């Protein structure tokens, strides 16, 4: 346990001392502020929170996560790993899992430090935007699934960093693997597998209560019944019924039907590939010469 803890804290200090992480923290805070100012009066609460989470799942912060995740076992870091494993009482598993844990901890810390205060401002402030209710369960569940997507991205980058000794090559492969696959999966609107579709489903998740209330029987709509009767008699007399208005194309968050959203399926859809990536990275690292 001591080597694991020592490597974990050492990696966290090394990561935080890098300008990439510090600039990322500043940039993500500034972008969140700009998003709040630009959409404060026009967006409802749930879509506005989803806009704040969008850069972490899709673009641009996913690129930063890729760069942070692929370098623990590639490039100059491979020599450090070899020295630690061969000359010190550090097992391969301890080194690998400590490096992975450090990157996941850093990525999630930056994500939560910026988004939690921003979401609290949106949820608690009084705005002139159209009314929209989000639940505490929906906010916690949304933060959980976004954190799971970021963990998956770190794990996939970690796997590629284990397979390739060249950091730049690992990043290029990850970019050309992650974004095209997401675009293809988004065509099927599968939030369980596509981060883009998951982002579109976030407003639905943000409005979900902890427990679904029992549905009450709908009240009879007398106006709709009267209109249907008029249309029926009009069709008997040869009259033409009014043509329906063409459906307007919705915004980014209104292009899919996610009323059957299942948090359990989403957790399985992103959790299983994460575990598989970690297992493959561990297996490949154990077979590699250090």
Tokens of 184: 């293809």
Q: Could you say which DSSP state residue 73 is in?
A: S
Tokens of 195: 């981060």
Tell me whether residue 222 is in a domain.
Answer: no
Cβ-contact 59, 143 below 8 angstroms: no
β strands within 123-279, DSSP E: none
Tell me whether residue 239 is in a domain.
Answer: no
Cβ-contact 207, 259 below 8 angstroms: no
Q: Could you say which DSSP state residue 192 is in?
A: T
- Across the chain, mean pLDDT equals 79
Q: Rounded to whole angstroms, how far apart are CA atoms 224 and 149? A: 44
The whole domain housing 264 covers: 2-211+252-287
Q: How confident is the model at residue 288 (pLDDT cuts 50, 70, 90)?
A: low
| Residue pLDDT, tens place only, 56-73 | 998 889 999 999 888 765
Tell me whether residue 218 is in a domain.
Answer: no
Q: Rounded to whole angstroms, how far apart are CA atoms 78 and 99? A: 12
How many folded domains does the chain comprise? 1
Cβ-contact 157, 170 below 8 angstroms: yes
Tell me whether residue 238 is in a domain.
Answer: no
pTM: 0.81
Tell me whether residue 236 is in a domain.
Answer: no
Tell me whether residue 175 is in a domain.
Answer: yes
Tell me whether residue 219 is in a domain.
Answer: no
Tell me whether residue 230 is in a domain.
Answer: no
Q: Rounded to whole angstroms, how far apart are CA atoms 89 and 125? A: 53
| Residue pLDDT, tens place only, 86-124 | 455 667 777 888 889 999 999 999 999 999 999 999 988
């Amino acid at each position: 346990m001591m080597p694991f803890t020592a490597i974990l804290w050492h990696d966290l200090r090394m990561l935080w001392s890098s300008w990439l992480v510090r600039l990322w923290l500043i940039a993500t805070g500034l972008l969140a502020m700009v998003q709040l100012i630009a959409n404060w009066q026009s967006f409802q609460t749930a879509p506005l929170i989803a806009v704040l989470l969008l850069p972490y799942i899709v673009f641009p912060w996913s690129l930063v996560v890729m760069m942070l995740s692929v370098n623990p076992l590639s490039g100059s870091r491979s020599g450090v790993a070899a020295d630690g494993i061969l000359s010190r009482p550090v097992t391969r598993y301890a080194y690998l899992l400590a490096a992975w844990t450090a990157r996941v901890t850093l990525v999630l810390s930056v994500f939560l430090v910026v988004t939690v205060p921003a979401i609290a401002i949106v949820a608690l402030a009084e705005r002139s935007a159209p009314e929209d209710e989000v639940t505490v369960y929906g906010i916690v569940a949304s933060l959980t699934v976004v954190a799971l997507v970021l963990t998956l991205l770190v794990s996939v980058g970690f796997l590629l960093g284990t397979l390739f000794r060249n950091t730049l090559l690992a990043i290029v492969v990850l970019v050309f693997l992650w974004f095209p696959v997401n675009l293809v999966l988004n065509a099927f609107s599968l939030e369980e597998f596509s981060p883009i579709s998951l982002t579109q489903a976030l407003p639905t998740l943000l409005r979900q209560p902890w427990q679904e209330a029992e549905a009450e029987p709908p009240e009879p709509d007398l106006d709709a019944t009267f209109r249907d009767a008029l249309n029926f008699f009009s069709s008997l007399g040869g009259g033409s019924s009014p043509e329906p208005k063409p459906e307007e194309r919705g915004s980014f968050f209104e292009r899919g039907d996610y009323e059957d959203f299942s948090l359990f399926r989403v957790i399985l859809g992103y959790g299983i590939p994460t575990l598989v990536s970690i297992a493959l990275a561990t297996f490949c690292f154990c077979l590699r010469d250090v």
